[in-house]
Structures are given as structure tokens and as C-alpha cells.
Structure 1
Amino acid sequence: MIENTTRLLPTLVYIQTNLAENLSLEAVAQQADMSPFHFHRLFHNSIGETLKQYTMRLRLERAAYELRLREDSILDIALNCGFQSHETFTRAFRRHFERTPRQFRKGNGNRAHLADDSEHGRLLNHMTQTYHLSKVSIQQRTPIQVAFLRHIGDYVNVDMSVYDKLVDWAQTNGAYTGRNLIIGVGHDSPDITPVEKLRFDACLEVFEQIRPFSPIGYQIIPGGTFGIADYTGPFGPTMYQAYIDIFTQLAQQKNIEIIGLPVIEIYHTTKINPDYALNHVEICVPVKKVVS
């Protein structure tokens, strides 16, 4: 992560859960208990974007993702992502993606990361390991409180040793029971978000609210309705193919609308071992039941 970013983790969590709300400099600085001037300087120096640039990018990326998956009107998607009008949204979207929302939806967006000549495509073409994926089932999940460490960058480069750091922290602070769920949360689509800006949270379940202590943050992973499948296999490129299979299964289900993000991975183990070939992971994709 960029230096000092961890100091802003509570604010980043607030932003990601309130994208449709007022995220002006004054409002977010007040939430962070800082003056607008000092907050602006800290945020820009730490994140590499101004608050306005950061929130605009997240809103546009969420909108692009929803345009790909949902049949809602463009106006409804714009409003859901924090834009005040169709015109404002269309201008901002075109500047960012170099096409209108309608063109993006019609062309199914920029799918370069899924093409055979993409980095992921090359990895898939050279895979020798296999995996097993169960049939997707629709289930309800309750919210989960977690301590977390954030990774910024390509998902395939997540250093799984961060989970050891979380467990060490929990043991030192009396938060480890041996029953804590070990979780990964992917907030962005690699088909839409630049790879260097992808957000992944390595999480350890906690059973009461904790005070964020750099570099460890606190958040509540939202509950709700999920399409859930059990994956058994190695970490890495095969999981990318498993996600394609899961989304394909969900797209074929009636009365289900894919929300898609954030994706939650629950690791059924007491220790993450990236070299182990038979990892058991419960992959949870947010969905919504639709009444026909």
C-alpha cells in the first residue's frame, strides 16, 4: 500500500459503503474528524488521487459493473452510484471510459482482461492443475465483523502471509479463539478497474468491534443473499476460471439478479498455504432475488 494509506482505512471503508451518499470534501473530512485542508492533503499524498477523483472513479467503476450485469435503466444505475442526473453521469462516464454508458452496455464493456491474449488468459492456457467446483446455491449470510489488512494491486500478487500477521495480532490482543473465519474480500472487477488499483482485503473474523490500529483496520462485511459455491484446488489462475463458471451458473438461474461485488472468499483452514493444491474455499457472490 502507499505509505500512510492505513491511517485512512476507516475513511476508505466509509467511502466504499456510502458511494451513493454525499461524499464532499467537507462531509468526509468531518467524518474523519479533520479539517478539510488537512484531510485533502493527507488523502492526496496517501492515495495518489484527490478525494473527488477517488470517489468519482469508484462510482464510475461500480456503474460500469452494473451496466454489464443489470438490466436497470441507465438513470437508475446512475442514481444508485451517487450521480445526480443522467447528463452528469454520461459526461463523466464518457471521459473515463471513452464511450457512453449505452455504448458500454451494448458492447458488454471492455473485456480485455478476459481475452485469450490477456495476462489471465495466458495463465489459464498454461494451467496444468485442476480444481473442483460445486453447483452454486442461493443462501443467506449474516454480516461478519473483521479485522483486515488491505492489498492494492493485482489479485494474483496478494501475499498470503498477511494472514499470519492477522493471526499474530489477534493472538497478542486476545481476539483469536481458533474459530475465527479467515476471509478474503475482492472489491473490484479486474475487467474494469486498473490492475494497479484493485482492492483486496485479507480479513480475520472478530467477535466484537475493535479500534483500528495501523496497519490493521476494522469493517463489517455485509450480509444478504449470495450465490455460493465450494471450490477445492490451488490458489491462483484456476480460481479465475472458477469465478467464470460461477457467474455463468448464476446467469442461467431464474429470478436471480447478480450484484457481483464485493466478492467474499471464506477459507476453510486454520492457516493459508499458497503451495497447497487442495484448498477449500467458499466463494460467495452477492445476488438479489427478483420477483417475476
Structure 2
Amino acid sequence: MNIEIEQIPYCRIAYIRQIGPYGQNNVRTMEKLKTWAKSDHLLDEQSIILGIAHDNPELAAPQNCRYDTCLVITEDYCINENYISEGSIPGGKYAVFKIEHTAEAVQEAWLTIFPELFRQGCQMDETRPILERYQTKLLKDHYCEICVPIH
């Protein structure tokens, strides 16, 4: 598995939080965020959408799992919808895994990235979130990325 090490900068995000079992609910939340972003003309060739799974489904009850679907926004953008929250990603050093943008490939990646990080001598930084990153330019080629914060 190919790993790129990348310094991801701090970014401001607009997000919708989904609480409940991971899977189809995340897809619906993603579609809701994209519909809002399109209506506000925020989706273009430079857009970056992030998915953040806050809870390990092996440790948390499915009904308590939190997933944020995020859009990276500019510092000066004003959010006008009450169902859209605002936050930020602190940035830092990440191990980036480029994978096919399919449900099967994403599920497989979640099973293989941690052993691969260990094999390559990387140590995860648990103070920052793991990011599923969907960049328009990669999505056109049917790829996405999982970005794991490392020390």
C-alpha cells in the first residue's frame, strides 16, 4: 500500500454531523452537505470535502457513532444555514493513503491502514482526527484519500 507523507494545513470547515450507525446515513449526510454547497456555489474544481468518523464502531454503540461531513471553506465565508455547523481542522503531518472511491475499497482501507502504518514505523497522533478526503480532481479519476495524523 502506497503512503505519502503530507503536511495538511489548518482549515476552516462547514459541516453536518450524523449520529448513528456508519454507512448509508453517512451517504445521506454527504448528499445533504453537497446540495447545500451547490446551492451556495461552493463546489468547484478546488473543493475539498472531508469525512470524519469520531468513534471506533468496535468500541462505541452504533447509535452513538458520530460522523461529520465537512466542506473546507474560506476564513471569510459566512454560514447562513442553521443546520450547518462551523469548525476547523488543526492541520499537521499526515500519512495519506490514496484509494479507489468505492465502498468496498474504503472498507478494506480501514482494515489495512493501521497495520501498514505500524509496518512503516509511523505513530498515529490520536489528538487529531483521521480524515476521509474527497478532492474534486481525484474524484474525477474515482479516487479518494484517507489521511491519518502522525507524529
> TM-score scaled to structure 1, two decimals?
0.45
Q: Which segments of 5 or more consecutive residues in structure 1 lack a partner in the other structure?
A: 1-133, 273-277
Of 224, 228, 233 in structure 1, the residue corresponding to residue 96 of structure 2 is 228
* Shift of residue 248, structure 1, vs aligned partner: 0.7
Change (3 A) 1:180 1:156: same
Contact 2:26/2:67, CA 8 A, preserved across alignment: no
Residue 210 in structure 1 maps to residue 78 in structure 2: yes
* Shift of residue 215, structure 1, vs aligned partner: 1.0
For residues 174-185 of structure 1, the aligned pairs below 5 Å read 174-185=41-52
* Counterpart in the other structure of 1:219: 87
* Shift of residue 163, structure 1, vs aligned partner: 3.2
Change (3 A) 1:220 1:212: farther
* Counterpart in the other structure of 1:128: none
* Shift of residue 172, structure 1, vs aligned partner: 3.6
Q: In angstroms, what is the RMSD of aligned CA positions?
A: 2.5
* Counterpart in the other structure of 1:136: 3
* Counterpart in the other structure of 2:20: 153
Of 234, 237, 257 in structure 1, the residue corresponding to residue 123 of structure 2 is 257
* Shift of residue 176, structure 1, vs aligned partner: 4.2
Change (3 A) 1:212 1:199: farther
* Counterpart in the other structure of 1:44: none
SS at match of 2:120: coil
SS at match of 1:258: coil
Q: Which segments of 5 or more consecutive residues in structure 2 lack a partner in the other structure?
A: none
Contact 2:47/2:135, CA 8 A, preserved across alignment: no
SS at match of 1:160: helix
Letter in 1 for 2:145: E
Percent identity between matched residues is: 27
Letter in 1 for 2:91: G
More strand per residue:
2
Distance (Å, rounded) in 1 between the aligned partners of 2:134 and 2:43: 16
* Shift of residue 173, structure 1, vs aligned partner: 3.5
Residue 284 in structure 1 maps to residue 143 in structure 2: no
More helix per residue:
1
Letter in 1 for 2:24: N
> TM-score scaled to structure 2, two decimals?
0.81
Contact 2:131/2:146, CA 8 A, preserved across alignment: yes
The answer to which structure, 1 or 2, has the higher relative contact order (CA under 8 A, 6+ apart) is: 2
* Counterpart in the other structure of 2:54: 187
Change (3 A) 1:233 1:163: closer
Q: How many residues align?
A: 147
For residues 57-136 of structure 1, the aligned pairs below 5 Å read 134-136=1-3
Q: Give a deviation string over 1:68-122, Cα, whole Å, max 9, x none.
A: xxxxxxxxxxxxxxxxxxxxxxxxxxxxxxxxxxxxxxxxxxxxxxxxxxxxxxx
Distance (Å, rounded) in 1 between the aligned partners of 2:86 and 2:80: 6
